[in-house]
């Protein structure tokens, strides 16, 4: 991460923030499909069972072609395109602090429920 402007640019899109929240709390690498399904649940208040196939595929495509490359470029996120796995390897101090604050502010109730249901 080069500047604070880079950090703020990274955080301008909700889906990128949600991706970072999920990756920060995950134990190791996750598949892009798992990431997309969890983001759908979080964004739409749905469940994996209610995700229309077309919407899941669209979310995977936007992650692969838009959000993951930008996150990978700006932070210490590794995106293995061959195996469709993504993991966070670290964040700059600025990004880590901002991520913690935005997660607490953006989804105080949903965040803890979401994370507890996935990692608790």
The number of distinct structural domains making up the chain is 1
pLDDT per residue over 30-76, tens digit each?
A: 999 999 999 988 888 777 788 887 888 999 999 999 999 888 877 77
pLDDT at 83 over 60: yes
pTM of structure: 0.79
Q: Range of 86's domain?
A: 4-115
| Structural domain includes residue 50 | yes
**18 close to 45: Cβ distance less than 8 angstroms:** no
Residue 108 lies in a domain: yes
Q: How far apart are CA 41 and CA 2, in angstroms?
A: 32
Residue of 101, 86, 85, 68 whose CA lies nearest to 111? 101
In a domain, 120, yes or no: no
- Residue 12 included in any domain: yes
CATH number at residue 47: 1.10.10
Signed CA dihedral, 78, 64, 111, 8: sign only: positive
């Amino acid at each position: 991460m080069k500047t604070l402007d880079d950090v703020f640019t990274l955080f301008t899109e909700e889906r990128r923030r949600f991706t970072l929240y999920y990756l920060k709390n995950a134990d190791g690498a996750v598949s892009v499909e798992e990431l997309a399904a969890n983001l759908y649940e979080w964004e739409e208040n749905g469940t994996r069972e209610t995700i229309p196939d077309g919407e899941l595929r669209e979310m995977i495509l936007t992650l692969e072609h838009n959000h993951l490359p930008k996150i990978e470029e700006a932070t210490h996120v590794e995106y293995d395109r061959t195996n469709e796995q993504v993991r966070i390897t670290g964040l700059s101090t600025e990004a880590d602090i901002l991520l913690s604050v935005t997660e607490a502010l953006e989804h105080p109730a949903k965040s803890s429920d979401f994370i507890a249901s996935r990692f608790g």
